[in-house]
Amino acid sequence: MPHLNLLPWREEQRRQRNKDFVLTCVVFAVLMVLTIGGVHYWYKDQIRLQQQRNAFIEGHIQDLDKKIDAIRELDAEKDALEARMTIISELQSSRPEIVHLFDEVVTSLPEGIFYQKITQKGRVLTMSGVAQSNARVSSLMRNIEDSSWMQNPKLREIKRDQKKGSTSQETLRLSNFILTTYQDNPNAKSGDGESRGKDSSGGNS
């Protein structure tokens, strides 16, 4: 019976399997590298696109911020202009009141009194001056009560002061006073009364 030697064939088959295994590993490694590279490139491209979108959005946000700042500046200028117009309107409307008020300040001043200082804050007048006696101050307050352009006089302070006269034996007894009063407007009251009268007559008809 003939004897066959199968060792060379088996050795060749084993080498072929090793080659196939190595080739398979190489192909798999190449595919893995290509896959990882493709995924990396895809993510990198997505990041680039997202950065472009973010830059586009940030640019629009900056433009909107500039427009908002411009609108705020316009609003501030508008408010300032309206405030100036209001002040001008108030000054124009109060000009006749000021004329009447100073006229009343002069006409209500009795003899024996002179003012040293008059200040106004809002509709409150503060008057400081010197009177020959307390009775003169009382007369001034009565005149203010009777005035159409001033009301509610209040004496804040009064002090007696003695000063020497023209001769060494003559002594002047003066009263330093501070009083406040409120500016009134009889025209506004009459206008309100007329409007109320018209409303009531219209309601009766």
pLDDT in tens, 132-177: 888 889 999 999 998 888 889 999 998 887 665 454 444 567 889 9
Domain count, the chain: 1
Is residue 148 in a domain?
yes
Is residue 154 in a domain?
yes
Is residue 158 in a domain?
yes
Is residue 44 in a domain?
no
How many C-beta atoms lie closer than 10 Å to residue 179's C-beta?
Answer: 19
The stretch 24-41 carries a mean pLDDT of: 89
Is residue 1 in a domain?
no
The gap between the terminal CA atoms of the chain, to the nearest Å, is: 149
Is residue 84 in a domain?
no
Is residue 178 in a domain?
yes
Q: Which two tokens stand for residue 205?
A: 């008809």
Confidence of residue 105 (pLDDT cuts 50, 70, 90): confident
Range(s) of the domain holding residue 127: 93-187
CATH number of the domain enclosing 152: 3.30.1360.100
Would you call 114 helix, strand, or coil by DSSP? strand
Environment class of residue 108 by beta-carbon count within 10 Å: exposed (0-12), middle (13-18) or buried (19+)? buried
Is residue 171 in a domain?
yes
The stretch 72-99 carries a mean pLDDT of: 83
